[in-house]
Amino acid sequence: MPIRTVIIPAAGRGTRLMPATKVTAKELLPVFDRVAIDFAVEEAIGAGAERVVVVISTSKTAIRSYLGHVALAVSGDGPRIGRQHEGVEIVYVYQDRMLGLGHAILCCRDTVLPGAIGVILPDDIIMGPNALAEMAARYRRGHMVAGMPVSAEDAAQYGIFRVSGLPVDNCIPVSGMVEKPAPGTAPSSIAAVGRYILDPMIFDVLAHTPPGKGGEVQLTDAISIAGLAVPLTAFRFSGSRYDCGNHDGLLAAAIARQAEVHRHRATQS
């Protein structure tokens, strides 16, 4: 199923990466030879997006300047960002009120092309096979969310799936999700990772989703509500995921990226 539009929400404040994020968008922090948002843009393009909608705030316009430069400067010298963004439109949507991920997606309602919509959270860098492309290859209808197993202690940091059936080819049927469940209450050990393929009906659901965890409109809650009407699938992607919203994850991603670049250079020489 072609995914013509990919939304990259990048308006968040980056509180876990202070103090750098007082003046630099977390999406522009370096991951070895790239910056964090490169991975999301490249994955979107690799998954076939015609339009990439980047959600920023008026204090994060540096992202817009950066992506304008990179589109011109791409040289194809690395394993990722290997080609020009030719033919791909980058559109910016402003979210100046921090009302949550669900609200960020709702802000994009008028900018998406027809058909199912991809979402990539740029904090979640996935190295290895293109996760959104893997999902698109298996997506049929409803909403699909990337998933990975987590320990019981870590479950409270994620959206956790309510599993409702047995997996078939990396696709796990689910009946809903719980955003950051209290310790000991997680409905499964499968956590949501920041890749989504959404039926456009999600916009109507988001418009009526009340604020949830942290007083924010949660995409997790909207997907759960939508699960009453359309199928929900968790997809076990095959790459390695790094949480680049914190210092440990950012460093781990940089080290993995360094290894990827060195491997690539070795095959070139």
Q: Rounded to the nearest whole angstrom, what is the least distance from the CB of residue 40 to ligand G1P in the complex?
A: 12
The minimum distance between CB 254 and ligand G1P, in angstroms, equals 18
């910056």: which residue's tokens? 35
Instruction: Please identify, using beta-carbon distances, which residue of 67 and 105 lies nearer to ligand G1P.
Output: 105
Query: Rounded to the nearest 5°, which phi and psi values hold at 180?
Result: 40, 70
Nearer to ligand G1P, 42 or 124 (CB): 124
Residue ranges that bind ligand G1P, judged by CB under 6 A: 101, 121, 124, 158-159, 179, 191-194, 220
As measured in angstroms, the least distance from the Cβ of 229 to ligand G1P is 20
- Residue with smaller CB distance to ligand G1P, 70 or 197: 197
**Distance between start and end Cα atoms, the chain:** 38
| Nearer CB in complex with ligand G1P: 4/13 | 13
Residue with tokens 């909608």: 53
Residue closer to ligand G1P, measured from CB, 78 or 227:
227
Q: How far is the CB of 100 from ligand G1P (least distance, A)?
A: 8
Minimal distance, residue 121 CB to ligand G1P, in Å: 5
